Amino acid sequence: MFALLLLVSLLFVWTLVSERLARWSITAPLAFAVAGIVLTRGEHPPVQLDLEAHAFQRGLELVLAVMLFTDATEARDYERLGKSVGEGRLLGLALPASVGLTTLFGAALFPGTSWWLLAVAALVVMPMDLAPIATFLRDARVPLRVRAALNIEGGFNDGLISPLFTFCVANLVSAQGDTFTDLLLNALKGAVFAVLVGSALGFLAAWLVRRALEAGWARPAGLRLATLTLPFVAYAAAVPIGGNGFVAAFVTGLWYAHTAHAIGHHSLELAHDAVEVMALAVWFTFGKLTADDFAQGGVTWPVIGYALLALTVARIVPVYAALGGMGFDRVERGAVGWLGSRGVTSIVFAFLAYVQLPYGSAVFIFNVTCATVLLSIILHGVTMEPIARWFEGHQGRSAPSSLAEADGGR
């Protein structure tokens, strides 16, 4: 009970000082990760976390399901721009290139490591989580096309990576006799079932909500709870039949997004608030994982080098090249490439890999994930304000006049 009191008190205090701390580049992920480090250390820590419990694993999976659902609804909201911000190139060209480069960097830094394990590591550390740069996405000083490109890419890339991650992990832990074809068919089956479940649920939910509003059976404000239940229903419906629960939640969000925005953005507020609180709990857990990793000597120079390459070269070069000819100037392309922050998605994927992989492989995934995410929340948190100030001083070059009024951000 004391642990619960401590955690909810921490959340309350954060809400009181968050805006002030943001001026010093102290973001919520950084604050809660540090709190996790401090409050879970020692023989008798104030907060004890049982990371081996099945309920904890399921809770992390549900956090990611809700995040993917809200990501899908946010990404679709930028359709109001009426023009592409390079999302097709970012997802179809830059993302595969980034995963490939990260895998190659891993092979160079960790010779002799299985290619499947290197692929899993790349798929864990490359998905974006925009929570560490949330204030940047709401900053009117930054051109809207930059924020839109980050938001749309961040909304879709983890949903696209999820089935690939599941497939690569399956190749590492496959039972004897399972062929590559068997594993590929199982992965495809899981993705297809997830798409069917998500499409059916999203379409049905959207139709029922519209009918309820038209008949006067419900008010828009009262539908916030209905919206929050959808990712949980999608996940719970897909998993028992062998579907990918993450993909199902994401697809549900895509189908439901138009209706959600048509009835007012407040219909999504409860889901966004819930996922924010759930994500902070994951960041707190990440603090403990990072402290344990440091204590066991898991963060070595090759691991730090891998993390830096994943955050810089493997991310910036493909993004910068992919956005050529899309109306972005060089600084905007560099900003989109640099501000690909990492967070909850990587943490959840790493934990899912940990509970399935052999110990040595699991430790490797944890090492590179902790280093990458920790560096991300520090480096991206520190640099987003200077980047925003630079844009403010050069608005004449890059501000999209007709679109500047349409503000957004996760």
Write out pLDDT tens, residues 194-252. Answer: 999 999 999 999 999 989 888 888 887 778 888 899 999 999 999 999 888 888 998 99
What is the spatial distance between Cα 270 and Cα 223, in angstroms, rounded to a whole number?
10
pLDDT of residue 262: 74
Query: Residue 399: pLDDT above 50?
Result: no
Query: Residue 191: pLDDT above 70?
Result: yes
What percentage of the chain carries pLDDT values higher than 90? 30
pLDDT of residue 1: 62
Name the pLDDT band for 73 (thresholds 50, 70, 90): confident
Query: Residue 408: pLDDT above 50?
Result: no
Query: Residue 406: pLDDT above 70?
Result: no
- Give start and end residues of each alpha helix (H) in 143-268: 144-173, 180-215, 224-238, 245-262
Query: Residue 267: pLDDT above 60?
Result: yes
Beta-carbon neighbour count of residue 329 at 10 Å? 13
Domain locations in the chain as residue ranges: 27-399
Which residues have C-beta within 8 Å of that of residue 324, sequence separation ≥ 6? Answer: 333
Using the structure block, give the residue that is written with the tokens 């899993």.
120
pLDDT digits (tens, 9 = 90+) for 54-67: 777 788 888 888 98
Contact of 186 with 370, CB cutoff 8 Å: no
Domain at 27-399: CATH code: 1.20.1530.20
Query: Residue 180: pLDDT above 90?
Result: no
pLDDT of residue 403: 38
What number is the average pLDDT over the span 60-84?
76
Name the pLDDT band for 368 (thresholds 50, 70, 90): very high
What number is the average pLDDT over the span 144-170?
86
Maximum mean pLDDT: which of 4-8, 100-104, 363-367: 100-104
What number is the average pLDDT over the span 79-104?
86
290/234: higher pLDDT = 234
pLDDT of residue 292: 79
Query: Residue 374: pLDDT above 70?
Result: yes
pLDDT of residue 95: 94
What number is the average pLDDT over the span 252-273?
81
pTM: 0.85
What does pLDDT average to over the chain? 84
What number is the average pLDDT over the span 264-271?
76
What number is the average pLDDT over the span 250-267?
81
